[in-house]
């Protein structure tokens, strides 16, 4: 389909139908016609070059403001035509548009784009020339309601200009909400529109007016949909496992998988026609020769052989096949056809496929490790779903040292049968999973993802890392919005709307997950900081403001109680700096005051720098005691080296999240607050 650009009077006509105010205007093809239009509209007017080939008028200096009389109009008309011809000799110039000049106000951008995963999105931010430089924008997936529109307006840094800043008056926020709502309806009502810009929309103290708009019509992107088949939760609890491609050769993947499953308490069947026994277990030539029922088959053989193995599994009545083998859709057209073949066989026989091209799965509570990782993960609260197998091996190694445990680890692979969203739904129903953590490279079913996490996050926290922030390719976008609504930003918007807590790194994801598994969501963003280090008290103020955390004033009664137990040099405010000679007893007395006065705070942040006075293990015990006696959130930071390490296991066992870096703590809490729309 040919891409078509709609601008000028045609664009204004569309906006008018949806109640978005536009200026009076007319198209002039010569100076005399321009003079006639200007007299009808009334001076002052604006001149705009009109050409289907010039997408951004500012690129050719194609706008002249403040034309006050006929002489300026004729001079301006001639100058625009000449300038456009010199700078874009290839462009077809239709004429010059004469517009009523809008009163000065705050310039706003409203735009839309069509995301390949999530469909239509809307973008809002400060408009004009600086929009792509400042990139102070917010994005949402459509449809959305006015409450969500108000949220997106208020999250940009420039919101202070709308609310009223210094000598600038407050602008008509309700008119802006209505304009964004109308633009969203307009975009959804026109399936052929792939992008649009209203830039700028001039926002006044009373009302608003759109003074430039462009719509791009093209081929509508079809959202990928996978067949929805019920997924049995028992997929994570097989009673018997066959390893097809098991091997006694330590250099083979089949060896490592079989070795990792030796501790599996159920029945384990190595399958390899060349061997009678592998790692002390009887080996079978084919899956169909195994005398007992087989719940799960782990397949690690060359791709070309996999279809026949899947046929054998189907005849045997295997319920789940974990295909480690690679060389399918990810390798090209031939591999894609091979993948379609195995899915066809599986679907006809009620067999579910994890993978192919998957690292496998780990279910630590069931002592299942079908991967070829060197280590097996410890049991714990985190269900981890990853679109990268290599990342899993790294995380498992790291998690053992960090004392992090898992309910399940799933390598999604090519998602030929079971999709990424299916796995989220699976872990939502898993009683061992307290927090779901996602590593995402690409979501194929964006709408279904958003619907699913919106429901799941109400019952169980979901944390997500989205890989890929590159701006490569955005410069080719036909509109401002197309370049602003990049892949990463759109995913962040989807996370926000779906109640998913975003994380910038693997480390951050598990830090956030640790807070949520141990403490749940905070009731609000009112925080009190208790510390023995003045420097961290100052930094805490900076970090709190940056992350939407409100360091509340101490009530008079609390201030008086703190005065009674703290030395004269204490800070006298929140953050509560108890000075550097603070003992564990001093911390405990401050905690007791906060326990007596829990109504004024939602989050307590405890920061202790290493000293010879406060034993980190004893302090950790007091922090755990504090946390056990309040329903509010309690989190701790013990910055330092080896001297503070004894406190970490005590806090972890007591389900108090503990951080080595103070900034990491504030960032994690801030992301949680933002996801729950409290920050």
Helix (H) or strand (E) holding 298: strand 296-299
553-594 confidence digits (pLDDT tens): 999 999 999 999 999 989 999 999 999 889 999 999 999 999
Q: Which two tokens stand for residue 292?
A: 């007992």
Predicted confidence at residue 299, as pLDDT, reads 98
- pTM for the structure as a whole: 0.88
Please spell the DSSP secondary structure of 358-419, one letter per residue.
---EEEGGGTEE-S--SS-PEEEEEEEEES-HHHHHHHHHHHHHHT-EEEEEEE-TT-SSS-
Distance, in Å, from the CA atom of 412 to the CA atom of 330, rounded to the nearest integer, reads: 13
Superfamily of domain 106-217: ATP-grasp fold, B domain (3.30.470.20)
Window from 171-175, 504-508, 591-595 with minimum mean pLDDT: 504-508
Residue 451 is given by DSSP the state H
358-397 confidence digits (pLDDT tens): 999 999 999 999 999 999 999 999 999 999 888 999 999 9
CA-based end-to-end distance of the chain:
44
Distance of CA 585 to the CA centre of its chain: 42
- pLDDT-derived band at 480 (thresholds 50, 70, 90) equals very low
Predicted confidence at residue 475, as pLDDT, reads 38
Predicted confidence at residue 545, as pLDDT, reads 95
Question: In 3D, which of 520, 496, 540 has the Cα closest to residue 666?
Answer: 540
637-676 confidence digits (pLDDT tens): 999 988 999 999 999 999 999 999 999 999 999 999 988 8
Domain boundaries along the sequence of the chain: 24-100, 106-217, 236-515, 521-675
Distance of CA 136 to the CA centre of its chain: 17
Which residues lie closer than 8 Å to 341 by C-beta, 6 or more apart? 307
Superfamily of domain 24-100: ATP-grasp fold, A domain (3.30.1490.20)
Residue 321 pairs in a beta bridge with 297, 353
Predicted confidence at residue 472, as pLDDT, reads 43
Predicted confidence at residue 679, as pLDDT, reads 55
Residue in this structure with the two tokens 């603070």, named with its chain if needed? 582
Mean pLDDT of 58-85: 92
Distance, in Å, from the CA atom of 309 to the CA atom of 244, rounded to the nearest integer, reads: 8
Distance, in Å, from the CA atom of 304 to the CA atom of 614, rounded to the nearest integer, reads: 64
Mean pLDDT of 189-198: 95
Distance, in Å, from the CA atom of 655 to the CA atom of 627, rounded to the nearest integer, reads: 9
Torsional sign, CA 545, 550, 556, 560: negative
Window from 58-62, 101-105, 119-123, 183-187 with minimum mean pLDDT: 58-62
Computed on alpha carbons and rounded to an integer, the radius of gyration of the chain in Å comes to 31
Q: Which two tokens stand for residue 489?
A: 């930003």
Question: In 3D, which of 515, 501, 524 has the Cα closest to residue 453?
Answer: 501
Contact 485, 115 (CB under 8 A): yes
Residue 127 is given by DSSP the state -
Predicted confidence at residue 219, as pLDDT, reads 74
Distance, in Å, from the CA atom of 476 to the CA atom of 616, rounded to the nearest integer, reads: 55
521-554 confidence digits (pLDDT tens): 999 999 999 999 999 999 999 999 999 999 999 9
Contact 503, 509 (CB under 8 A): yes
What CATH code would you report for 521-675?
Answer: 3.40.50.261
Give 475: exposed, middle or buried? Use CB within 10 Å, 0-12, 13-18, 19+. Answer: exposed
Instruction: Tell me what percent of the residues of the chain surpass a pLDDT of 70.
Output: 95
Contact 78, 34 (CB under 8 A): no
Q: Across the chain, how many H-helices and E-strands are there?
A: 22, 31
Q: Quick check: do 236-515 and 521-675 share a fold?
A: yes
Contact 348, 371 (CB under 8 A): no
Residue 270 pairs in a beta bridge with 243
Mean pLDDT of 618-622: 96
Contact 22, 12 (CB under 8 A): yes
Residue 603 pairs in a beta bridge with 527, 633
Q: Which two tokens stand for residue 259?
A: 């070795």
> Bigger pLDDT: 572 or 477?
572
Predicted confidence at residue 3, as pLDDT, reads 81
Is a pLDDT exceeding 50 seen at residue 483? no
- pLDDT-derived band at 133 (thresholds 50, 70, 90) equals low
Is a pLDDT exceeding 60 seen at residue 482? no
Mean pLDDT of 506-519: 93
Q: Are strands 277-278 and 352-354 parallel, antiparallel or unpaired?
A: unpaired
Residue 219 is given by DSSP the state P
Contact 570, 577 (CB under 8 A): yes
> Bigger pLDDT: 225 or 218?
218
Backbone φ, ψ for residue 49 (5° rounding): -65, 140
Q: Which two tokens stand for residue 400?
A: 């053992």
Residue in this structure with the two tokens 């310039």, named with its chain if needed? 107
Contact 355, 386 (CB under 8 A): no
198-221 confidence digits (pLDDT tens): 989 999 999 999 999 999 998 766
CA atoms within 13 A on the CB side of 34: 28
Is a pLDDT exceeding 50 seen at residue 478? no
- Secondary structure class of 635 (helix, strand, coil): strand
Helix (H) or strand (E) holding 530: strand 526-531
Q: Which two tokens stand for residue 122?
A: 């809307």
Instruction: Reply yes or no: is the peptide bond before residue 185 cis, omega within 30 of 0.
Output: no
> Bigger pLDDT: 237 or 223?
237
Instruction: Tell me what percent of the residues of the chain surpass a pLDDT of 90.
Output: 79
Other C-beta atoms lying within 10 Å of the C-beta of residue 447: 17
State whether CATH 1.10.390.10 applies to domain 236-515: no
- pLDDT-derived band at 476 (thresholds 50, 70, 90) equals very low
Q: Quote the Cα angle for 541-545-548, to 5°.
A: 135
Predicted confidence at residue 469, as pLDDT, reads 58
Distance, in Å, from the CA atom of 462 to the CA atom of 196, rounded to the nearest integer, reads: 32
Predicted confidence at residue 129, as pLDDT, reads 63
Residue 577 pairs in a beta bridge with 531
Distance, in Å, from the CA atom of 52 to the CA atom of 97, rounded to the nearest integer, reads: 13
- Secondary structure class of 50 (helix, strand, coil): strand
Which residues lie closer than 8 Å to 427 by C-beta, 6 or more apart? 383, 385, 407, 408, 410, 433, 436, 460
Q: Which two tokens stand for residue 64?
A: 């002249």
Q: Which long-range contacts (CB under 8 A, 24 or more apart) does 7-15 make?
A: 7/50, 7/52, 7/213, 7/214, 7/215, 8/48, 8/50, 8/97, 9/97, 11/213, 11/214, 11/215, 12/210, 12/213, 14/186, 14/213, 14/215, 15/186, 15/198, 15/210, 15/213
Produce one character per residue of 255-277: b if its CB has 16 or more CB atoms within 10 Å, e if not: bbbbbbbeebeebbbbbbeebee
Distance, in Å, from the CA atom of 326 to the CA atom of 358, rounded to the nearest integer, reads: 8
């Amino acid at each position: 389909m040919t891409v078509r650009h709609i601008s000028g009077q045609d664009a204004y006509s569309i906006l008018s139908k949806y109640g978005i105010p536009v200026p009076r205007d007319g198209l002039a093809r010569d100076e005399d016609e321009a003079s006639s239009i200007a007299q009808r509209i009334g001076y002052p007017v604006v001149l705009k070059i009109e050409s289907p080939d010039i997408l951004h008028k500012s690129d050719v200096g194609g706008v002249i403001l403040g034309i006050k009389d006929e002489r300026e109009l004729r001079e301006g008309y001639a100058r625009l035509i000449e300038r456009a011809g010199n700078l874009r000799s290839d462009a077809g110039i239709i004429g010059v548009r004469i517009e009523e000049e809008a009163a000065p106000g705050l310039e706003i951008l409203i735009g839309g784009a069509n995301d390949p995963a999530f469909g239509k999105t809307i973008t809002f931010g400060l408009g004009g020339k600086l929009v792509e430089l400042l990139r102070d924008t917010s994005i949402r997936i459509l449809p959305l309601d006015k409450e969500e529109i108000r949220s997106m307006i208020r999250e940009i840094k420039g919101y202070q200009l709308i609310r009223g800043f210094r000598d600038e008056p407050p602008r008509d926020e309700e008119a802006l909400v209505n304009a964004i709502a109308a633009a969203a309806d307009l975009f959804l009502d026109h399936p052929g529109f792939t992008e649009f810009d209203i830039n700028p929309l001039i926002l006044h103290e009373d009302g608003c007016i759109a003074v430039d708009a462009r719509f791009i019509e093209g081929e509508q992107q079809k959202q990928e949909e996978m067949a929805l088949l019920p997924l049995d939760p028992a997929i994570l609890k097989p009673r018997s496992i066959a390893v097809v491609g098991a091997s006694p050769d330590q250099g083979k993947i089949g060896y490592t998988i079989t070795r990792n499953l030796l501790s599996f308490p159920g029945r384990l069947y190595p399958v390899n026609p060349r061997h009678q026994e592998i790692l002390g277990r009887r080996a079978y030539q084919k899956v169909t020769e195994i005398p007992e029922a087989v719940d799960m088959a782990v397949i690690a053989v060359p791709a070309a052989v996999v279809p026949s193995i899947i046929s054998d599994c189907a005849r045997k009545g295997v319920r789940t096949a974990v295909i480690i083998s690679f060389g399918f859709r990810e390798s090209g057209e031939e591999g894609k056809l091979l993948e379609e073949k195995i899915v066809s066989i599986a679907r006809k026989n009620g067999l579910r496929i994890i993978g192919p091209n998957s690292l496998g799965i780990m279910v630590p509570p069931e002592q299942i490790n079908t991967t070829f990782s060197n280590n097996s993960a410890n049991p714990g609260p985190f269900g981890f779903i990853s679109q990268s197998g290599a990342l899993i091996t790294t995380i498992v190694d790291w998690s053992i040292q960090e004392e992090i445990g898992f309910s399940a680890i799933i390598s999604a692979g090519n998602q030929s049968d079971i999709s990424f969203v299916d796995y989220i739904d699976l872990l939502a129903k898993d009683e061992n999973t307290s927090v779901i953590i996602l590593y995402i490279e690409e979501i194929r079913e964006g709408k279904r993802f958003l619907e699913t996490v919106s429901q799941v996050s109400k019952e169980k926290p979901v944390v997500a890392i989205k890989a890929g922030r590159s701006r490569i390719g955005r410069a080719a976008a036909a509109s401002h919005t197309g370049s602003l609504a990049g892949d990463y930003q759109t995913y962040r918007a989807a996370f926000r709307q779906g109640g998913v807590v975003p994380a910038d790194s693997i480390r951050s994801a598990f830090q956030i997950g640790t807070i949520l598994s141990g403490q749940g969501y905070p009731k609000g963003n009112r925080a009190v900081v208790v510390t023995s280090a003045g420097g961290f008290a100052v930094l805490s103020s900076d970090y709190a403001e940056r992350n939407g955390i409100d360091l509340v004033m101490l009530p008079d009664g609390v201030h008086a109680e703190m005065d009674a137990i703290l030395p004269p040099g204490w800070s006298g405010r929140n953050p509560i700096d108890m000075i550097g000679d603070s003992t564990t007893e001093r911390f405990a007395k401050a905690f007791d005051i906060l326990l007596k006065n829990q109504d004024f705070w939602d989050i307590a942040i405890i920061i202790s720098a290493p000293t010879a006075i406060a034993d980190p293990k004893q302090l950790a015990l007091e922090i755990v005691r504090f946390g056990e006696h309040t329903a509010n959130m309690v989190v701790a930071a013990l910055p330092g080296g080896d001297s503070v390490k004894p406190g970490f296991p005590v806090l972890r066992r007591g389900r108090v999240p503990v951080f080595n870096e103070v900034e990491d703590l504030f960032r994690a809490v801030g992301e949680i607050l933002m996801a729950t729309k409290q920050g």
